[in-house]
Every structure is written in structure tokens, then in C-alpha cells.
Amino acid sequence: MYLFFLAQGLSFTQIAALEAIYNLTTLVGEIPTGYVGDRVGRRNSLLFGTVLISVTLLGIGLSGSFWAFAALYACWSMGYNFRSGSEDAWLYDTLTDDLSEDQFAHVRGRGESVALAVGASAAVVGGYLGSVDLSYPWFVAAGVTAVGVAVLLTVEESETYERADTATPGFRRTLSIVREAITRHNVRAFVLYYYVLYAAATYLVFVFLQPIFETVVTDFGVSESRVRSLLGWFYAAYSLFGAGLSYYTGAIRDRLGLRRWFLWLPFVVGGALVGAYLVPVLALPAFLVIRGLSDVTRSFAGQYVNDRVETTGRATVLSAMAMVSGLAVVPFQLGSGVVSDAVSPLFALALAGAVLIVGSAGVLLWEAPVAE
């Protein structure tokens, strides 16, 4: 997608601005859309979000100007706003029906594994489609996303949600539930540690992976004409590695525990980003590792937060976490775009890695982000 934007004449600063618009829309829309998910049902929220995303993807593939992309990015963000909190809330409540909510990370990890494995073949196809025309992958993505609407029509609300008094709390009461959850001991530090520092730094990896990949492989003598198809194969490896780790999410949790996982995570990722700048050829394996860790970590974060909130307001609380993350990413995005144009994307990522290491150490000195 970033090669597509560069081909339309956008600069790194403009691409970073698009990402900032996406996250500012997240900031404005997450809590209201989470509230809607709590009131009208998780499935209805997921349905609306999926339709909006599908239409937006089609629109991006047909557009060619920065301002058109800016408007569509706001719509894209709103689509994910309607899905972000409701997805995990629906899954956790559905597992609660069978008294197996402690398996959330395990089940979510298996689901991510399947998604990534399927995505590996899609990445290869997308690479070849992009080598023909960079707009084609957007059209195919819009069509595949639309299939999700038919799937969601077969989904039912959980009994736990149906029994909960989700119609009673007003918006102010829901906001107080969010505030109580985010400011709770160990949760407040976790929000800073994961949803602010870690999420912001790793988000930049996904933004700059494509131009960095292009730079690295062309430095090794690969012709420009082969870059897009090779990028598809790299994304396939990228997805399969993530799928392998996600499949064993439950086993990783049982072996290491959430506390130990989150203790080392930001320092491993931050060190990999700094190391990639010092030795550029290490960037590609570093991206593979960070990708693999990302989905497992997201499942662990969902388990940790879900275990500490009630069904009433669950989607709103999870959406609020995404909102906090979106707010934190904005200065990282804008700053990284300027730094990338002035120096290079690799230097911007190394700077983000250094901030991640120093910031995480500061949080650990203040309060343990993950309770025993």
C-alpha cells in the first residue's frame, strides 16, 4: 500500500500524515463506537464496520490525490472503530458462556494463526497483482472483505451479552467505567507500557517496511521490476512466521507467563530496531521477528485487559485502549515522516526503538505493568 502511495506522488511526510489522520479519527471515534457496540450488539457493530471498510478499500484503489486519500483514511479508521472493541468483546463473552474465558488468548491466537496462514498466499497473489497495477490489490481486498458481511450474518450474540444489562448504563456511566478501568493499579502502567510505547513504535515498522524492503533488496542487485513480486513473497514469510507463533499462543503463555513476556518484549523489539539501522541487512529478519511477536502480544494484551473488566462496557473499554494507542501513535507518525524525509526511514525506526527502550524502563521503575 505504501508503494502505491509513493507511486501516486506522495512524500513520506504525506504518508505519515495519512496515518496520523487515521489515528486521530480513531481517537475521536473509538469510545462512541465501542458504546454503540455495547448498546446495539457486537454483531451489528461488526457488520457496519465491515461494510464501511469494504467500500473504503474500493475508493482508495480508485483515487489518486492526497486529499481523497485523507477523507478515505478517516472512513477506513471509522470502519475499524466499529470492529476494534466489539471483536474481542464478542469472543470473550462467547467463551464466558462456556466458562472458558481463561482460554481467550489461546483461542484468539489460533484464530490469528489461521488468518495469517491464509494471508500468506494472499500476500504472494497481491505481490504479483501489484506488479501489474498497484490498485488491483485494493479492489481484491474490498471484495474479500465484503465476504465477511455474509459470514457475520451467521453469527449470534453470546448469552452472556444477552443476559447483561447493557441497555441501562448511560454514556456518562460508560465513560466512568472506562476511567475506572484505565486508572486501576497495574492497568494504568500497562496502558503506558503496551498501548502507548510498544504499539506506537511497532506501528512504524508496518508503515516503513515496504520502502525499507525496496532499499535493502535493490542494494543487493535486485532489479526494480522484481521488487513488488518479491515483496509479496516476503509478506508470505512474514505472515507464516506470525501464524506459527500465534498457533502456540496458549502454550507460550503457559510456559512463560504474561509477566515475563511483557517484561522482555519492548527491549527485544527496541534493540532490533536500533540494530537494523546499524546493520541494514538485519532489517528484514528484524521485521519478521517483530511481526511474529505482534499478534501473540495483542492476544496477551486482550486477555489481560478482558480479565479486569465486566461485560457491561467491555467493548467501550477495549475501544478506549485502542483510542489511547491511536493518540500515542500520532506524534510518532508525524515525527517519523519528517525524519524519514530528512535522513531515512531506518533512522526513524531506530529513533523509535530508542524511545521504546528508555520509556519502557521508566514505566518499570514507576510501577509493574503486569500483575502477578
- Judge whether 330 lies within some domain: yes
User: What is the distance, to the nearest Å, from the Cα of residue 21 to the centroid of all Cα atoms in its chain?
Assistant: 15
Q: Report the range out of 34-48, 205-219, 307-321 with the highest average pLDDT.
A: 205-219
In whole angstroms, what is the distance from residue 231 CA to residue 123 CA? 8
Residues near 331 by Cβ (< 8 Å), separated by ≥ 6? none
CA 250/CA 154 separation, integer angstroms: 27
Q: Which residues contact 307 (CB under 8 A, 6 or more apart)?
A: 101, 102
Q: How many CB atoms lie within 10 A of CB 194?
A: 26
Q: Is the pLDDT score of 113 beyond 80?
A: yes
Within-domain flag for 372? no
Inside any domain, residue 10: yes
Written as one letter, the residue type at 68 is A
| CATH number, position 181 | 1.20.1250.20
Max Cα distance, the chain (Å)? 64
Contact 138/61 with Cβ under 8 angstroms?
yes
In a domain, 148, yes or no: yes
**pLDDT for position 363:** 92
The model's pTM is 0.67
pLDDT at 359 over 80: yes
Range of the domain at 143: 2-366
Mean predicted lDDT score pLDDT of the chain:
83
Separation CA 6–CA 67 (nearest Å)? 15
Query: Quick one: which of 72, 69, 66, 74 has its CA closest to 25?
Result: 74
C-alpha 111/C-alpha 96 separation (Å) is 17
9-13, 42-46, 119-123: which is most confident: 9-13
- C-beta of residue 240 within 8 angstroms of C-beta of residue 293: no
Tell me how crowded residue 173 is: count the other CB atoms within 10 A of its CB: 11
Q: How far is CA 32 from its chain centroid?
A: 19
- Asked if residue 26 is part of any domain, the answer here is yes
Nearest alpha-carbon partner for 31 in 70, 84, 97, 67: 84
How many residues are recorded in the chain?
372
Counted domains in the chain: 1
pLDDT bin (cut points 50, 70, 90) of residue 172 is: low
Phi, psi of 80 (to 5 degrees): -75, -25
- Over residues 10-43, the pLDDT tens digits come to 988 898 889 888 878 877 776 676 667 667 777 8
pLDDT computed for residue 174 by the predictor: 57
Average pLDDT of span 231-253 = 84
Domain-embedded: residue 371: no
